Amino acid sequence: MKRLHVHVGVSDLEKSIRYYTALFGSGPTKEESGYAKWMLEEPRVNFAISSRCGEPGVSHLGIQVDSQEELAELRARAETANADGLIDEGQTTCCYAQSEKHWSVDPQGVAWEHFLTIGDAEQYGDHGPVELIGEAAGAEQVRTRRAGCGCGCG
């Protein structure tokens, strides 16, 4: 079953954790250095915040899947929507998780991540393919204001 993913860059992680804990009615499912995540069931959302994304605000959107088949289906859809701008990242470490993913960018420059979580990771991860997404899509408007996030958001 698919789950919407929202990643927000924050300037004060502890203050933001308190806010979202009150808003969602429960604490983070995962809390690490510079990062917190809530796996909400109603609505079904993977909501993450990070102080590693530079400027605060929505970093990227995505869809998390539970199977290789669902990931392949989303890849086909993303390729149809943005054939020139699809970036296959493959297996990677991101946001304290091992995952397999690909990226696309919408006409407004919003990065979309489709991913399958394979397991936990000890480290946050230190890559960021948003520049590749922008080059592949020819989208100069790709939102790079959050440079250095390390989770692919730029």
**90-94 mean pLDDT:** 82
pLDDT at residue 127, rounded to an integer:
53
44 pLDDT band (50/70/90 cuts)?
very high
- Domains (range + CATH), the chain: 3-137 (3.10.180.10)
pTM: 0.75
Write down the mean pLDDT value for the chain: 82
Tokens 């592949």 found at? 136
Which has more pLDDT, 133 or 14?
14
pLDDT at 145 over 70: no
**44-71 mean pLDDT:** 91
In Å, what is the CA distance from 29 to each residue of 59, 134, 153? Answer: 20, 32, 21
DSSP 30-60: EEETTEEEEEEETTEEEEEEETTSSSSEEEE
**89-99 mean pLDDT:** 82
pLDDT at 7 over 70: yes
For residue 25 the two structure tokens come to 């009615």
85 vs 47: CA distance, rounded Å: 25
